[in-house]
């Protein structure tokens, strides 16, 4: 997972080109869904979706051919507000048409409804974003860490995360030397 999504990083300098086709997101059905102000380098249509509408929009897209759930990532725009963006990538395989959905979230207690009820494959992706950014996916069936240890403090992909990470006195530096190399080795298995 990366923090970039193929978009230009400064939305003020890159206005959106023509709005994406209305057939992708019906303007009458979802009046609060807007084309993203950032132009995608690969031409993928991108939309800003209110958090409260993401499940309904994803369900609509799935029913209209966007059956492949490719990825979720997040971006921390600190110091800007809204601080976080959750970025979803879907694909209409038949039409070979990708689409990108972005949900903007505040810095304090960021949360968004889970898409696991629409795309079962969203499960581990949402857990990864939760683990690394601290974004809560409401109604997720098993929202817990997936990459970091359960007792890890903080979320390492946040821009305010300490560069050195939290102190871990129970993990001495020599504990990770692979066998067969000079120096200390892994502790014996218990």
pLDDT score for 146: 97
Residue-number span of the structural domain to which 91 is assigned: 34-143
Say if 188 falls within a structural domain: no
pLDDT score for 1: 45
pLDDT score for 139: 98
Note if the pTM is more than 0.85. no
Say if 182 falls within a structural domain: no
Q: Give the separation between CA 132 and CA 155, rounded to whole angstroms.
A: 5
pLDDT of 172 > 90? The answer is no
Q: How many domains does the chain contain in total?
A: 1
Q: State the CATH number of the domain containing residue 135.
A: 3.30.460.80
Mean of per-residue pLDDT scores for the chain = 83
> Could you report the per-residue pLDDT of 1-50, keeping only the tens digit for each?
444 444 443 444 434 433 345 456 777 789 999 999 887 888 899 999 99
pLDDT score for 22: 44
Say if 153 falls within a structural domain: no
> Could you report the per-residue pLDDT of 53-97, keeping only the tens digit for each?
999 999 999 999 999 999 999 999 999 999 999 999 999 999 999
Say if 164 falls within a structural domain: no
């Amino acid at each position: 997972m990366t923090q970039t999504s193929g978009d230009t990083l400064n939305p003020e300098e890159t206005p959106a080109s023509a709005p994406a086709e209305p057939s992708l997101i019906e303007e009458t059905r979802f009046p609060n869904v807007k084309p993203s102000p950032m132009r995608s380098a690969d031409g993928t249509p991108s939309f800003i979706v209110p958090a409260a509408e993401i499940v309904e929009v994803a369900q609509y897209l799935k029913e209209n051919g966007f059956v492949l759930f490719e990825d979720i990532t997040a971006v921390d725009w600190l110091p800007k507000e809204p601080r976080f963006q959750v970025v979803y990538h879907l694909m209409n395989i038949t039409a070979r048409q990708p689409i990108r959905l972005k949900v903007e979230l505040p810095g304090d207690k960021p949360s968004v409804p889970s898409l696991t009820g629409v795309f079962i494959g969203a499960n581990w992706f949402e857990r990864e974003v939760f683990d690394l950014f601290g974004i809560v996916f409401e109604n997720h069936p098993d929202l817990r860490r997936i990459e970091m240890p359960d007792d890890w403090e903080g979320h390492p992909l946040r821009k305010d995360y300490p560069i050195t990470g939290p102190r871990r006195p129970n993990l001495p530096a020599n504990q990770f030397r692979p066998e067969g190399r000079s120096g200390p080795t892994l502790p014996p298995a218990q």
